[in-house]
Amino acid sequence: MRAQPSLRTAQAFLFIYIFSLWKGQPSLGQPFFKLAVDMCLFLQIDKDDETVLSELNELEREERARFYGTCLYAQSVEQSLSPDPVSMRLSPDKLKPGKEFTKPYVAFLGHGPTLHFNNVANLISDIKRHHLRIPSSVYELINSEESLILRNHMRHVHSKINSKYLLLGETDSLAPPK
């Protein structure tokens, strides 16, 4: 007899993947991460379907949203670090800011910098994919259309990050010092 997919099972698979990263063995955790994402999609955790959500209380809804956010973050890490990342089908557009639940006990705190970390990891992933192909010249490396798009993407990500999360040097500009 095979158990039905559940949020708890999907969370367990995701935590196995995170543990494998922590132990320096991401390839061992990749199949579990793929299962967690598949369950996330099967359970429609990325959707705001009122027929599903009407049966849940606020804490359970937030737990689903946090799981989706954690899957997105793990997807970003996977794509930015792994030489052979698992292909994903999760969209960051569906991520909503987290709510705080502190009564009667602390269950969830606000998201804080999580969304920023996610955006930075996605940027790293895009840069990595861009540099998989060797440019034909230094000019192409610096001035190609893809490089300009990446530069604009970097500026966009930088502009969205709250200044309290930035490590600023002598200049807060993204331009190289003169």
pLDDT digits (tens, 9 = 90+) for 89-112: 676 666 666 666 656 555 555 666
Q: What are phi and psi of 31, to 5 degrees?
A: -60, -35
- Residue 113 and residue 117: Cα distance in Å, rounded? 6
The proportion of the chain whose per-residue pLDDT surpasses 90, expressed as a percent, equals: 17
117/145: higher pLDDT: 145
CA 45: distance to chain centroid?
A: 15
Q: What is the pLDDT of residue 1?
A: 45
* CB 118 within 8 Å of CB 72: yes
Give SS3 for 101.
strand
Q: Which of 1-10, 14-23, 107-116 has the lowest mean pLDDT?
A: 107-116
Q: What is the pLDDT of residue 12?
A: 95
Rg of the chain in Å (alpha carbons): 19
- What confidence tens digit (pLDDT) does each residue in 28-45 have? 999 999 999 899 888 888
Q: Concatenate the DSSP letters of all residues of 40-85 into one string.
A: HHHTTTTS--HHHHTTS-HHHHHHHHHHHHHHHHHHHHHHHH-SSP
Ramachandran category for residue 24: left, alpha or beta (phi over 0 → left; psi -120 to 50 → alpha) = left
Q: What is the dihedral of CA 93, 69, 161, 78, to 10 degrees?
A: -100
Q: What is the pLDDT of residue 98?
A: 65
Q: What is the pLDDT of residue 94?
A: 64
pTM for the model stands at 0.67
